[in-house]
Amino acid sequence: MPRLLMSLKPLYQRFPGLSSLIAIIDPWRSLGKDPATPVTGIQPGCIFHLHRVQATIAKRPMKRAGYLLVILALVPSIGGCYLLKQGTYLLRYNGRSRSIDKVLARGSVSGDVEAMLRCVQEIRRYAVEEIGLEKNRNYTRYVELDRDYVVDVVTACEADSFTPHQWRFPIFGSFPYKGFYEKSDADREADRLGKKGLDVWTRKVDGFSTLGFFSDPIYSFMSDYSLYALADLIIHEQTHATIFIKNQIQFNEELATFVGREGALGFLRTRYGIESEAYTQALAGLRDWNVFRDEVIGLYHQLDRIYGLGLDRETILAEKQRIVGEFNRRLISQAQELFRTDRYRSFQGIPVNNAYIMSFVRYSRDLELFYRLYESRGRDLRATVEALKQLERRRGSPKTALRLLINE
């Protein structure tokens, strides 16, 4: 842990709400009700996480929130107006959360929500007991919202290369995303970056994790999720709480994607069996996701070669338009042959937008490395996770260390 963050540890312990103000910086993915969610194309998606700082978790995070906000107002270098505003929203949401155990005991929710909350409890137990993920208070609380998502996230990239735009925050470093609780704020940020000539992508985010700073809640709209999506969400985020390597965003996300996916499938197999509708639907969706992912990565490499030729900007942008257009026309014409699920067969194309492509590629490009380790451990997910835990203690590139693990 960097010395500066270590020096802030007493402040985090006294005012645990401070951690909430960096929870809106770094998203992972947006959950749909199925393994992937096409819009005009397929949403890359995201869920928030942040670099882990070992701090005491307060049982009542709202207790000193007023003092916290005063501190941030007086010390703008810590967060400034952006973090102050987003932190206020997060503290407000946490203040509205209720214990799932108490909600179930009182019978104060609908049947669908009750079924979802009981399933959440089963998934949490499975994640700890069968996969070996960390046991904490995440997903033990419930929040009712009057909308179907939590925040909007903005990401941006150079229009003629895959160089991502970075947002820099004092103390906490640089991140390729920025989240907003108010859509108007996200729209203003997207408009500002678009005027600079960047490709900008804004998407809805269904939830976020604070990696143990708070008891991350389940939201009411999640009762509409498929069983697979709900299990994937919880296991993915518990993977971040178990293994997280600083400044290795792509590695962390690919790791959590792998464990979340395989853990969710394992949960469905254990609870419902391999012949169940829930399991077979999840497999079909993941099969289509893999096909689409391979197509997008192929597009990424094709564009990256063009970007590296040293052509002028106008020529590059024209080539990008042509190549993405051909990609869309081909996939639309072949969708019935390539895909098995209606969600992908209704594919209507992806935007001509490097930020969109990077949002998808960044967290899935090297998934094969994790599956190779999984195979080397006899497809035992718990043994694979135990092996991956070693990487937190190793220096250098975690992917280099992962390749060594595969060959052991």
Read off the pLDDT of each residue in 77-82 and give the average, rounded to a whole number. 60
* 307 and 222 in a common domain: no
* 180 and 92 in a common domain: yes
Q: pLDDT tens digits for 382-402?
A: 999 999 999 998 889 999 999
Helix boundaries (H) for 47-175: 65-74, 80-95, 100-106, 111-129
Q: pLDDT tens digits for 335-377?
A: 999 999 999 999 999 999 999 999 888 878 899 999 999 999 9
Q: Convert the chain into a string of H (helix), E (strand) and C (coil).
A: CCHHHHHCHHHHHHCHHHHHHHCCCEECCCCCCCCCCECCCECCCCCEECCCCCCCCCCCCCCCHHHHHHHHHHCCCCCHHHHHHHHHHHHHHHHCCEEHHHHHHHCCCCHHHHHHHHHHHHHHHHHHHCCCCCCCCCCCEEECCCCCCCEEEEEEEECCCCCECCEEECCCEEECCEEECCHHHHHHHHHHHHCCCEEEEEEEECCECCCCCCCCCEEHHHHHCCHHHHHHHHHHHHHHHHCCCCCCHHHHHHHHHHHHHHHHHHHHHHHHCCCCHHHHHHHHHHHHHHHHHHHHHHHHHHHHHHHCCCCCHHHHHHHHHHHHHHHHHHHHHHHHHHCCCHHHHCCCCCCCCHHHHHHHHCCCCCHHHHHHHHHHCCCCHHHHHHHHHHHHHCCCCHHHHHHHHHHC
Q: How many CB atoms lie within 10 A of CB 181?
A: 18
| Identity of the amino acid at 143 | V
* 371 and 326 in a common domain: yes
What is the Cα–Cα distance from 173 to 283, expressed in whole angstroms?
38
Provide the pLDDT for residue 65.
44
* 168 and 51 in a common domain: yes
Provide the pLDDT for residue 175.
79
What is the Cα–Cα distance from 361 to 299, expressed in whole angstroms?
10
* 243 and 282 in a common domain: no
Q: pLDDT tens digits for 297-320?
A: 999 999 999 999 999 999 999 999
Residue 380 lies in a domain: yes
Tell me the percentage of the chain whose pLDDT exceeds 70. Answer: 77
Examine the fold and report which residue of 199, 226, 247 is the final residue of a domain before the chain moves on: 247
- Euclidean distance between the first and the last CA atom of the chain, given in angstroms as a whole number: 29
Whether the predicted pLDDT of 29 surpasses 70:
no
Residue 263 lies in a domain: no
* 319 and 231 in a common domain: no
Question: Which domain, by its residues, includes 33?
Answer: 3-247
Give the CB-side neighbour count of residue 144, counting CA atoms within 13 A.
Answer: 7
* 200 and 328 in a common domain: no
Read off the pLDDT of each residue in 58-71 and give the average, rounded to a whole number. 42
Residue 379 lies in a domain: yes
* 381 and 286 in a common domain: yes
Residue 265 lies in a domain: no
* 231 and 289 in a common domain: no
Examine the fold and report which residue of 230, 247, 264 is the final residue of a domain before the chain moves on: 247
Residue 290 lies in a domain: yes
Provide the pLDDT for residue 172.
57
Residue 217 lies in a domain: yes
Residue 266 lies in a domain: no
* 166 and 43 in a common domain: yes
Examine the fold and report which residue of 192, 225, 247 is the final residue of a domain before the chain moves on: 247
Q: What is the pTM of this model?
A: 0.80
Q: Which one of 14-18, 108-112, 263-267 scores highest in mean pLDDT?
A: 263-267
How do beta strands 141-143 and 173-175 pair? unpaired
Number of domains in the chain: 2
Mean pLDDT of the chain: 82
* 197 and 297 in a common domain: no
* 340 and 223 in a common domain: no
Provide the pLDDT for residue 32.
43
Residue 222 lies in a domain: yes
